[in-house]
Amino acid sequence: MVIFRILEDKRLKPIFYFLLVFLLWSRLWALHEKPYHHDEGIYATLSFRYFQNFGYQFSPVTHGPFLYTFQSLLFRIMPINNFSGRLPVALAGIILPFAALGFFRKATSYRAISWIALCVFSPTLCYFSRFLGMDALLITLSVMVATLGLQWWKTERSIYIYSMAFFFAMMLCTKLNWLFYVFSFATFLIVSGDSKAVAKRLKEHWQDTLGFFMIVVYFFGLLYSTLGKHMSGIWDGLFGKMIPYWINQNKLQRI
């Protein structure tokens, strides 16, 4: 793994540890002190209601159910406070630099450490890793999807495409912006000329392809239905409310 190559390099090893410490410090230090933004307060409250006997039900106004599901799980194992309230996005910000290292398996250690440094010192990524919202979660999930997809392409091991399916399902359950990520992935395959090869591989490994869709459908339904408590959320998350709501929002005069 590229991490091991970095740690074996005497010049890069101290740089890596410095970046790791700075990453943890910049994402976690005083995470609880900043007053909650309006949107943060809504997301934290909905997560708390979810934690309290499934008081949450999907609404397109507050995006998908992944954040609330994930945060309610954290509330079950941690004290409920401002720190744990922002912890999901902080964890996403910590994972992000390492999630894409699968792209650097054959690259030099210097390229990999440069990627980590860019993520660590990015003001934008740092901000959204400390702001309770959907963006840090979505970008980290999308990177996981791309990395696992690449590993499946290289190895043809089912574990990678099934893991990819899980993270893709979480993308669909985070925010409607997932449409832009899927569009980007699809256009890349078309422009690069790899779309036919990918389609052929998926057809040859039809069991993996079927498993991928089954996993996506299962977790999509599980989260949007609030673990089976509100089955109407599945249709609402598909076409009933999500897309119509944001189309109407786009038509509103803002200024």
DSSP annotation string for 59-76: -GGG--SHHHHHHHHHHH
Residue 105: per-residue pLDDT: 72
H helices of 81-205, in order, are 82-99, 109-121, 123-128, 135-155, 158-172, 178-192, 195-204
Section 140-163 average pLDDT: 95
Domain count, the chain: 1
Section 55-65 average pLDDT: 90
In a domain, 177, yes or no: yes
Look at 137 and 239; give whichever has higher pLDDT.
Answer: 137
- The answer on pLDDT for 250 being more than 70 is yes
In a domain, 238, yes or no: no
Average pLDDT, the chain: 92
Section 55-61 average pLDDT: 87
In a domain, 138, yes or no: yes
Section 58-75 average pLDDT: 94
Range of the structural domain that residue 142 is part of: 134-224
In a domain, 33, yes or no: no
Section 234-244 average pLDDT: 88
Section 191-206 average pLDDT: 92
Q: How confident is the model at residue 255 (pLDDT cuts 50, 70, 90)?
A: low
Name the least confident of 22-36, 81-95, 99-113, 138-152: 99-113
Q: How confident is the model at residue 9 (pLDDT cuts 50, 70, 90)?
A: confident
Residue 254: per-residue pLDDT: 66
CA separation for the pair 107, 103 (Å, rounded): 8
CA separation for the pair 132, 193 (Å, rounded): 38
In a domain, 180, yes or no: yes
Q: How confident is the model at residue 216 (pLDDT cuts 50, 70, 90)?
A: very high
The one-letter amino acid at 230:
H
Residue 168: per-residue pLDDT: 98
In a domain, 108, yes or no: no
In a domain, 126, yes or no: no
In a domain, 59, yes or no: no
